Amino acid sequence: MEHIVIIGNGIAGVTAARHIRKNSDNKITIISAEADYFFSRTALMYVYMGHMRWWDIEPYESHFWKKNNINLKNAYVEKIDTNNKTLYFSQGQSMLYDKLIIASGSSTNTFGWEGLDLKGVQGLVTKQDLEQLEENAPNKKECPNAVIVGGGLIGVELAEMLRTRDINVTMLVREDAFWTSALPKPEAEMLSRHIQSHGVTIKHQTNLDKILGDTNGNVRAVLTKETKEEIPCNVVGITTGVKPNISFLKNSGIETDKGILVNRKLETNIEDVYAIGDCAQQREPINSRPAVEAVWYTGRMMGETVAQTICGNPWEYNPGHWFNSAKFFDIEYQTYGWVQPERRRKDFEAQFHWKCKSDLKCITVSYHKETHQFLGINTFGIRMRHEVFNQWLSEKRDIRYVMQNLKKANFDPEFYKRNEAEIISAFTNQQTVTV
């Protein structure tokens, strides 16, 4: 019986464990220093907001692990000796493995700013980050003001969380609209307006210079780089992206770049060592996907892929067409295929954009200028069906077909206002497409 050890109990590691158990009687141990049990990371914000309790975001009862003969160990792996297949823990213990799956996830990406070690400076990635936020920002009295450095999905989540406790929030966004590194400009501008409508102050084209502390080591303000403005605050949220959590792999012999380098079977350069989830980096990126994918559903896919390979049924990681979803306060966002921001847009890519007068709904559709092939769609405030767009992308449908059949993809409840007729009319009148 082989001993399969998994470092990390997030969605990637736990999915791997579940599928290994389905397909084998191997001994399985999951190691994590973050939490005793697997939890839904995407639901962390709802615990702080009071919508859910901690145990509500644990998908499995505590007896699930014993019932399925999956061993759990709360420990931090400090070093890996791949020559002797041994893990060393910070507590001084060690553990042997036959096969090792590294699913160590991400950590907050920081850029060496002065003041990062002050009390009140934090990210929003781990359970410990949530506990720290509860301590640092329990209410408006203890924390009247907060500054968030960076935008993106984590930044807007943190802003929404703090606003539920009536804490004043200022966001420093280096772009001239919210998240233009990922979104076309019209969408980014709409989100900037929407986030500000919820009482958040956004300072566009503004970078952090340094974080200022008081005599007790607490945050008291931030200083902006461009204008040297001092903004008083009690909490500084660092939401400038995440990076693979791989510092413990030093001198292990496991090849790394930004993340742990793997092939399509998620194998590293070391025999019997695999990497999955946020910490894995494809040696050859798949189509237009980034080499490192810090996304919930890709972690789940990688977990099943590596489990099949370990259990003698080799799979290659094949995530299919890109998709994702998120929420910006009360505007839901979905993306299918590729709708590139301005800086990454190819010469052949054209885009059609429509926005509702309410300033709460919009779509952007991407297509090939010459062939009219449908390339992708972003939707805000309109729910769409994943399986429909996935099929149209696979079939390489003409953009005109997609627009004429948008109602087939709409997933909004029947009592929601539908916008297809207005969208199609605007598309038909757009001069860049001949219908």
Looking only at the bridges linking them, the beta strands covering 145-149 and 121-122 are: unpaired
Closest CA to 202 of 328, 297, 81, 114: 328
Mean pLDDT of 307-335: 96
What per-residue confidence (pLDDT) applies to 1?
A: 86
316 pLDDT above the threshold of 80: yes
**d(Cα 279, Cα 223) in Å, to the nearest integer?**
32
Closest CA to 374 of 344, 342, 357, 352: 352
Q: Which fold has domain 121-240?
A: FAD/NAD(P)-binding domain (3.50.50)
Q: Identical fold at 3-107+243-310 and 121-240? A: yes
Average pLDDT for the chain: 96
Band of the pLDDT at 151, cuts 50, 70, 90? confident
Which amino acid type is present at position 364?
T
Residue 408 makes CB contacts below 8 A (sequence gap 6+) with 385, 388
In 3-state terms, what secondary structure has residue 41?
A: helix
pLDDT tens track for 234-292: 999 999 999 999 999 999 999 999 999 999 999 999 999 999 999 999 999 999 899 99
pLDDT tens track for 8-36: 999 999 999 999 999 999 999 999 999 99
pLDDT tens track for 43-76: 999 999 999 999 999 999 999 999 999 999 999 9
What per-residue confidence (pLDDT) applies to 434?
A: 45
Q: Where are the domains of the chain?
A: 3-107+243-310, 121-240, 323-429
Q: Which fold has domain 323-429?
A: Enolase-like; domain 1 (3.30.390)
Q: pTM for the whole thing?
A: 0.95
Angle between helices 152-163 and 185-197 (to 10 degrees): 20
What per-residue confidence (pLDDT) applies to 413?
A: 83
pLDDT tens track for 193-236: 999 999 999 999 999 999 999 999 999 999 999 999 999 999 99
Looking at domain 3-107+243-310, which CATH architecture does it have?
Answer: 3-Layer(bba) Sandwich (3.50)
What per-residue confidence (pLDDT) applies to 415?
A: 77
Mean pLDDT of 374-397: 97
What per-residue confidence (pLDDT) applies to 433?
A: 46
pLDDT tens track for 75-114: 999 999 999 999 999 989 999 999 999 999 999 999 999 9
What per-residue confidence (pLDDT) applies to 430?
A: 83
